[in-house]
Structures are given as structure tokens and as C-alpha cells.
DNA sequence: CGTAGGTTTGAAAGCCTTCAACGACGGTGG
DNA sequence: CCACCGTCGTTGAAGGCTTTCAAACCTACG
């Protein structure tokens, strides 16, 4: 493991310790995520914890699934940040969605012949491959988990809608701030970040590919936000200093 | 019914007559759409045809569901073009997806408390409201239909991904041409258009809201395409004159 | 014949991109 | 321990795509 990895992992570890909810204990981020959507029994939780076998540590900026690959089982992100993306022949890449710890992707894609998009790590990630059968088994025998998965999917779709909206009608600043809100909120939901501060192990290139603007412009927008005293971002750590003003910038 | 409506309806009717597939007969566009995803028995088809009760003719630019409404049953578009959209307080509107004849929306949204987006007609539409119970019933008793619905949903998600990608990394021309391709391809799939020609009852404002650019710019891009002899668009009818060049413009 | 909605046009300005180069930082290897 | 190197961040200048504002045109409809 490179020291880059250990640096980033420790970022998450630090945030992981303090405020553990009632469901936590030994349960992983998946249980924490799903538990927020539907009440899970200890039996459900046990089943979930058995899901994450075949873990692996993956370095940053590595493909988990390449565009065009044959459809296979699902992935579970245990640590780090990954993404779905589309890459054009021109080399341009658009990130479609972020995959954060606790995200299970993609139970439903089984019916698709081939992946029409790729999945790649952005930061170093601990990832578990989950066979399709295991997911189906889980859904069949644990209705509460199935419900939570459905709700979690709906949430992801809603996020995708607002992501698309931001791309369609939003200046660069707005898109960037919204992205920061989304990341912090989602990390917060699984206990990996504070509401206004958390790890952000993404490069400016990654951010640019999320919100559909050039890297250079990401840099300039960031500096403007910093100069205005609205946020801090350094060393892979993001702090929102003036949430009210930031919300005004994000609009709506 | 206004004469605008009758004009547009007849556009669809004309295209509807000629090449009818084996599944057609009296089956509506929904059956045609779903039949493409999974083989349906005559029993399945009968069940589908009973779904579309409570039809109504709706004028163009009318809300079927408003953002913030309580979640309810599904809609079935029988004729015309509708859309999902998000509207900002600023008045800016982003269209998320088009709903074409045969599209059923939204069997899955039942678990969401409130609609986070609206649904509105763009052209005059014939629409049927489908109670949630009817959809669930259909899925429970007609596995082939359930499968077709799942596949159709996957297809919609794939479209949403490429829509998002176009917004993120594409010039205005590219986005517009891709939109035209999508519309013609989808209409073609349900027998309502030729591969290179079909009805396009959308205003330039609608097009602008689909691809996230200003109305004025839609107009300028359109004229460029016309001047280059790549397409014709007038009187609600679109003709692609040079598919090869258009595909080059759309990229990838 | 007037009105409303949709389309077209021009000019000015703005947001963002591109290209290119430099600075900063941490890790690797000597 | 220091030098080298790659990745990431930063900066400037020039240009391009797109927006905004405003006004004119056109067509279908009442």
C-alpha cells in the first residue's frame, strides 16, 4: 500500500470514529446506509455483513469496470470514493455519479448486455465484489433489505436528476458548490463527515469531470470561493465556512 | 379540441399507418414498446389494453404532475410528447427526459413521498392515468410484462446517462443533433416515424430546455444545420437529409 | 384585423476554454 | 540527506461559444 493510500484511508478513519449511531457497532457503511432507509433486524444486519467478502484495496484512478465490459455482479464500496463515468473517443470524460462508502452498485444492471459506462476509483478504495446471486438471495430472503435497496436506488435517481439539472442550468460556481454539498451530505449520512467539514480526496480534474467544466476553471472558481471566505479546501479536506452564503450561491 | 391539436394528432396518425409490425393490430404503443423488450402472449397484450382506461386529451404545455405533488399512480402516454422537468425558482427549466407514446411513467416512484420533478405535456397528448394498483397487479400476474417493464426502465436510465453526458461534454450543435437522433429513433421504434423523418411537435423553447442552452442559440444552431443542408425542420416535421454528416457532428 | 405564440436577427457582453508555462508537493532513488 | 520526477495546483493571455437584451417578423387563430 502506498503512503498516499494510507494518508487517505486515515482521513476516513478519523472521521469514522467519533459519532457512531445506534446501528453501528461492527456493521459497515452499507448497513448504516440501508438502515437509514428501512429498519433492519439483527438478522438482516448479519446477512449484510456476510456480503462483503472478497474485499480488495484498489489504488486511485483505477477502473473497476470498463465501458463495454460484459455485465457481471455488483460492487460494494467500503472506503474511498469511486464513480460512474462515460468516456468519449475524444478522451473527454463525464462523471455521472459518485459512489461513496456504503453504496452498492449495481444490482439492477444484470439485464443489460454490456456496461454502457465505466466504474472507476477516484481515491484509493476498499471494494468488495458481490456476486449477482448473493444480491438476489439477499433481496429474496430479507424484505426489509430489499425495501431499503429500492429506496436507496430512488435516492440515487433523484440525485442523478438534480445532477443533470445543475449541468443544464447552472454556472460553474453553482455546480461546484452543489457538488460539495452533495458529497458532504452523503458522507455525513454514513457518519464519515461532519455537516460542514469532511474528507474530499478528489483532484481538481475529478471535480471538473463531475460538473462538466475545464480543470482550469475549477481552479479559478475554487480560488474565488476561498478568497470570499466561503470555504477551505486543502490536503484533501473540505470545510464550509459560510454555509448560508454557499447556499445562496448554489441557488434554489 | 383545438385545431392545433388536430393538426398534431394527424401528424402522428399519418406516420402510424404504414408499416405495422406483427404485434400491432389493435394493440397500442405501450404493447409495441414492451413487445420489443420481451415476447408477450396474447393474454399479456389483453391485460395491457385494459390498462389504458381513463384516457384524456391534454393540451400542449400543461402540467400532468407538478413538482411537490404527492406521489400517485402512473401515467401512460398514448399520443404526443411529454417530459419530465425540473423548474427552478428563477424560472429556468430543465427537461430531464422525453416521454413518447408507449412510455409508462412512473411505476417505481410510489415509494417517494413527493415528486421531486414535474411532468408536463409539450405537444397535445392523449394520456391515460394508471392507478398504482393496476401496475402492481400487472407486474404480479404477467411476468413477461414485468420483465419488459424492467428492461424498458433500464433503457430509460441508459438514455438519461447519455443525456447527462451530452450536457457535460458537448457543444450546442452536438446536443441538438443527439436529441433529434433520440427522438426519431424512439418514435421509429414504436412505428411513429421513419428512420430519417418524423413528427417533431416541439418549440425551440422546448428544445432549448432539453439541451440546456438558450432559445436564441437553438435557433442559430438550427439555421446553421439547415444552411449546411443537413436537415429540414418546419411545420412540426423533422427530416434528416444527411445522416452521415449529422452523426459526425454528434460525435462518438 | 388584431393578438399571441413562435421564430429570427443584431450587437454587446460574459462565461468559459484552450494553450502554455510555472510553482508546489511528496515519493523515489542514489 | 539530497536530487530528481511525476502529479497536482496555479496563473496569464487570447479567443470562442453562448447568453442577454431588444426588436422585428411571421403565422395561426379568434
3-state SS string for A80-132: CCEEEEEECCCCCEEEEEEECCCCEECCCHHHCCECCCEEEECCCEEEEEECH
Coil, strand, or helix at residue A185? Answer: helix
- Closest residue in B to A171 (Cα) is B212
Distance separating alpha carbons of residues A157 and A80, to the nearest angstrom: 21
pLDDT band at A27 (very low <50, low <70, confident <90, very high): low
The C-alpha cell 402512473 sits at B74
Top-confidence residue, A206 or A30:
A206
Per-residue pLDDT tens over the stretch A181-194: 999 999 999 999 99
Asked if residue A132 has pLDDT above 90, the reply is: no
Q: Is the CB of A153 under 7 A from strand C?
A: no
Asked if residue A205 has pLDDT above 90, the reply is: yes
When scoring A84, A164, A252 by the number of chain B Cβ atoms within 10 A, the one with the most, hence best to mutate, is A164
The C-alpha cell 433523484 sits at A158
What CATH code is carried by the domain that includes residue A114?
2.60.120.10
* E strands present in chain A: 55-58, 63-65, 74-79, 82-87, 93-99, 104-105, 118-121, 125-130, 197-199, 231-234, 237-240
Q: Is the CB of A223 under 7 A from strand C?
A: no
pLDDT at B83: 97
Q: How many CA atoms lie within 13 A of A106 on its CB side?
A: 24
Top-confidence residue, A109 or B94:
B94
Minimal C-alpha gap between B18 and chain A (Å): 32
Distance separating alpha carbons of residues A174 and A141, to the nearest angstrom: 43
What residues of chain B lie within 8 A of the CB of A84, using their CB? 161
Q: Which nucleotide is nearest to A213 (CA to C1')?
A: C16
pLDDT band at A29 (very low <50, low <70, confident <90, very high): confident
What are the cell numbers at B200?
A: 417533431
Q: Which nucleotide is nearest to B236 (CA to C1')?
A: C6
Is the CB of A96 less than 8 angstroms away from the CB of B154? no
Is the CB of B212 less than 8 angstroms away from the CB of A169? yes
According to DSSP, the β-strands at A63-65 and B93-99 are unpaired
Query: Which of A96, A169, A212 is facing B94, going by the closest CB pair?
Result: A169
Least confident of A10-19, A176-185, A230-239: A10-19
Hey, which residues does B129 pair with through a beta bridge? B75
Which pairs from B24-27 meet CB under 8 Å and 24+ separation?
Answer: B24/B191
Distance separating alpha carbons of residues B36 and A3, to the nearest angstrom: 52
Least confident of A65-74, A99-108, A233-242, B19-28: B19-28
Coil, strand, or helix at residue A44? Answer: helix
Minimal C-alpha gap between B199 and chain A (Å): 25
Query: Which of A111, A117, A164 is facing B96, going by the closest CB pair?
Result: A164
According to DSSP, the β-strands at A118-121 and A63-65 are antiparallel
Chain C: bases < 7 Å from a protein Cβ: 5-11, 15-20, 26-28
- Residues of chain A with pLDDT > 70, as a percent, come to 87
Asked if residue A95 has pLDDT above 90, the reply is: yes
- Residues of chain A with pLDDT > 90, as a percent, come to 69
Distance separating alpha carbons of residues B245 and B240, to the nearest angstrom: 10
Stated as kind and residue range, the H or E segment containing A141 is: helix A132-141
What residues of chain A lie within 8 A of the CB of B211, using their CB? 168
Is the CB of A151 less than 8 angstroms away from the CB of B111? yes
- CA-based nearest residue to B48, from B26, B20, B73: B26
Least confident of A100-109, A139-148, B130-139, B189-198: A100-109
- CA-based nearest residue to B200, from B221, B179, B216: B179
Q: Which nucleotide is nearest to B220 (CA to C1')?
A: C8
Distance separating alpha carbons of residues A225 and A215, to the nearest angstrom: 16
Interior/surface letters B141-163, b for 16+ CB within 10 angstroms, e for the rest: ebebbbbbbbbbbbbbbebbbbb
Residue A218 contacts residue A207 (beta carbons within 8 Å): yes
Is the CB of A212 less than 8 angstroms away from the CB of B252? no
- DSSP for chain B, please give it: --HHHHHHHHHHHHHHSS---TT-TT--HHHHHHHTTS---HHHHHHHHTT--SEEEE-SS-EEE-TTPBP--EEEEEES-EEEEEE-TTS-EEEEEEE-TT-EE-TTGGGSSB-SSEEEESS-EEEEEE-HHHHHHHHHH-HHHHHHHHHHHHHHHHHHHHHHHHHHS--HHHHHHHHHHHHHHHHHHTTSS-SSEEE----HHHHHHHHTS-HHHHHHHHHHHHHTTSEEEETTEEEES-HHHHHHHH--
Asked if residue A3 has pLDDT above 50, the reply is: no
What residues of chain B lie within 8 A of the CB of A157, using their CB? 157
Q: Is the CB of B220 under 7 A from strand C?
A: yes
pLDDT tens for chain B, 252 residues: list them. Answer: 333 334 444 444 433 333 333 334 445 889 999 999 999 999 999 999 888 778 899 999 999 999 888 877 889 999 999 999 999 999 999 999 999 999 998 756 666 778 899 999 999 999 998 888 888 899 999 999 999 999 999 999 999 999 999 999 999 999 999 999 999 999 999 999 999 999 999 999 999 999 999 999 999 999 999 999 999 999 999 999 999 999 999 988
Distance separating alpha carbons of residues B15 and B11, to the nearest angstrom: 7
Residue B61 contacts residue B122 (beta carbons within 8 Å): yes
Distance separating alpha carbons of residues B212 and B166, to the nearest angstrom: 10
Rounded to a whole number of angstroms, the CA Rg of chain A reads: 18
Distance separating alpha carbons of residues A27 and A78, to the nearest angstrom: 11
Number of folded domains that form chain A: 1
Q: Is the CB of B2 under 7 A from strand D?
A: yes
Q: Is the CB of B162 under 7 A from strand D?
A: no
- CA-based nearest residue to A169, from B197, B6, B88, B159: B88
Is the CB of A251 less than 8 angstroms away from the CB of B163? no
Coil, strand, or helix at residue A217? Answer: helix
pLDDT at A5: 39
Domain range for residue B134? 3-250
Coil, strand, or helix at residue A242? Answer: coil
Q: Which nucleotide is nearest to A170 (CA to C1')?
A: C15
- CA-based nearest residue to A211, from A180, A252, A239: A180
Residue B164 contacts residue A164 (beta carbons within 8 Å): yes
What are the cell numbers at A166?
A: 445543475
pLDDT at A73: 81
Asked if residue A118 has pLDDT above 80, the reply is: yes
Distance separating alpha carbons of residues B174 and B222, to the nearest angstrom: 11
Amino acid at each position: 500500500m502506498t503512503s498516499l493510500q494510507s494518508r487517505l484511508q486515515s482521513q476516513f478513519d478519523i472521521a469514522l470514529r467519533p459519532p457512531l449511531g445506534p446501528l453501528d457497532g461492527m456493521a459497515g457503511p452499507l448497513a448504516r446506509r440501508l438502515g437509514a432507509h428501512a429498519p433492519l433486524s439483527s438478522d438482516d444486519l448479519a446477512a449484510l455483513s456476510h456480503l462483503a467478502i472478497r474485499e480488495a484495496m484498489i489504488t486511485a484512478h483505477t477502473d473497476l469496470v470498463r465501458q463495454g465490459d460484459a455485465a457481471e455482479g455488483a460492487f460494494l464500496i467500503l472506503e474511498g470514493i469511486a464513480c460512474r463515468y462515460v468516456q468519449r473517443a475524444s478522451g473527454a470524460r463525464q462523471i455521472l455519479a459518485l459512489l461513496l462508502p456504503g453504496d452498492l452498485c449495481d444490482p439492477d444492471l444484470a439485464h443489460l448486455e454490456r456496461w454502457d459506462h465505466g466504474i472507476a476509483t477516484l481515491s484509493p478504495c476498499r471494494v468488495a465484489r458481490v456476486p449477482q446471486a448473493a444480491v438476489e438471495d439477499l433481496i429474496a430472503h430479507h424484505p426489509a433489505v430489499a425495501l431499503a435497496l429500492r429506496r436507496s436506488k430512488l435516492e440515487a435517481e433523484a440525485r442523478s436528476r438534480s445532477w443533470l439539472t445543475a449541468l443544464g442550468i447552472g454556472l460553474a460556481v453553482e455546480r461546484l458548490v452543489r457538488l460539495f454539498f452533495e458529497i458532504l451530505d452523503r458522507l455525513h449520512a454514513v457518519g464519515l463527515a461532519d455537516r460542514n467539514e469532511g474528507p474530499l480526496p478528489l483532484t481538481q480534474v475529478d471535480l471538473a469531470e463531475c460538473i462538466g467544466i475545464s480543470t482550469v476553471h475549477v481552479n479559478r472558481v475554487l480560488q474565488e470561493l476561498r478568497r470570499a471566505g466561503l470555504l477551505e479546501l486543502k490536503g484533501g479536506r473540505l470545510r464550509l465556512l459560510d454555509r448560508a452564503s454557499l447556499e445562496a450561491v448554489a441557488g434554489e
